[in-house]
Amino acid sequence: MNASKREFLVAAGAAAILGLAACASDGPQQRSTGEFTDDAATTAKVKTAIATDAGAKTAAAVNVETYRGVVQLTGFVDSEDQASRAVSAAKKVQGVRSVRNDIRIKK
């Protein structure tokens, strides 16, 4: 066997091992159907709370995503007040474990 073929086989074997290692997991990484449903309901409740507390314009500008009770808010609003009211509204919703505020203020 020549050296280039041996190097190719070693590289292919290493790639296969790394690929299999990537499949290993320390625990469940995907949400169950119940968790997914709970997160979807929490997202809807947070969106409604933002519309009620901060206004429809703010709610339309803020994106809400929930993963296992952790709510992430993103988007662009006109003022710091709108952003803080959105965060405050999200924190009041039952089922929210924490809020990650990634809302940006328009300049």
Mean pLDDT over 20-42 rounds to 75
Q: What is the pLDDT of residues 49-95, one digit of tens each?
A: 999 999 999 999 999 999 999 999 999 999 999 999 999 999 999 99
User: Where in the chain are the domains?
Assistant: 28-105
Is 60 exceeded by the pLDDT of residue 48?
yes
Higher pLDDT, 84 or 21: 84
Retrieve residue 30's tokens. 């995907």
Yes or no: is domain 28-105 CATH 3.30.499.10? no
pLDDT band of 12, cuts 50, 70, 90 = low
> Do 74 and 45 form a contact (C-beta atoms < 8 A)?
no
Complete edge-to-edge strand list for the sheet that includes strand 62-67:
62-67, 70-77, 98-105
Q: What spatial distance separates the first Cα and last Cα of the chain, rounded to whole Å?
A: 65
pLDDT at 31: 82
